[in-house]
Amino acid sequence: MTDASSGLVLRKATVRLGGRLVLDALSFHLTESRIGILGRNGSGKTTLLRLLAGLIAPDDGTVRVDGVDPFKNRKATLSALGILFQNPDHQILFPTVEEELAFGLAQQGIPQPEALKRAHDLLSVEGRRAWAKAPVSTLSQGQRHYLCLLSVLLMQPRTILLDEPLAGLDLPTQARLARRFAALPQRLITITHDPAVLADADRVLWLDSGAIAADGPPAQVIPAFTAEMARIGELDADADLAG
């Protein structure tokens, strides 16, 4: 039996937003190193990400991250789980790079001088020492995305949630980030609508209308998802609007 005190565990987790059922009694236990959550727009992916991160609580059921309720115990969750949002501007809070990097460490109880030292040390290791005093506003989209990743890595979480991590980036930046993700020791849970991103995953969950449509290795789940997306694409979905 798998140890429920490790990994991410949902038991009949249900979320309703505005009276609408968004996640329908989801149950799974995620322990693999590279996990994908795949679904089209509107499938409930973003809500699931927020649920796993402890940003919202389930209306029914339970969520546990390494045995901890992420919504009720945010501080304990900081060392268990990090999140990289699709849009870095939804994540960045501070005007300079060093302040942004130090913030997460301060949340973990690290004194500010030590937090800043660790931030500078990481920038040196990354070959980006010149970034320390730079205004975040001077960084490109890809650089801001990378800054958010460094902020998460400084906190040393055991699992990182990646929300459409390569969307909207140019190809060289995508390649650099993909290499960096592949080398990370943390468990990565990638939430995406793009099956190509998940070809090397250990496990893929296909989320459809708030329920798990398939769960297994990518070689099994991705072709089924792709075939269904092709079928939907062949339908004239806007025919009811023709007049």
- State how far the Cα of 43 lies from the Cα of 20, in Å rounded to an integer: 13
Instruction: Using the predicted structure, report yes or no on whether residue 78 has a pLDDT greater than 60.
Output: yes
Instruction: Using the predicted structure, report yes or no on whether residue 243 has a pLDDT greater than 50.
Output: no
pTM of the model: 0.89
Sign for the pseudo-dihedral over CA of 110, 111, 112, 113: negative
What is residue 111's predicted lDDT score, i.e. its pLDDT? Answer: 93
Range 216-243 average pLDDT: 81
Model pLDDT for residues 110-142, shown as the tens digit of each residue: 999 999 999 999 999 999 999 999 999 999 888
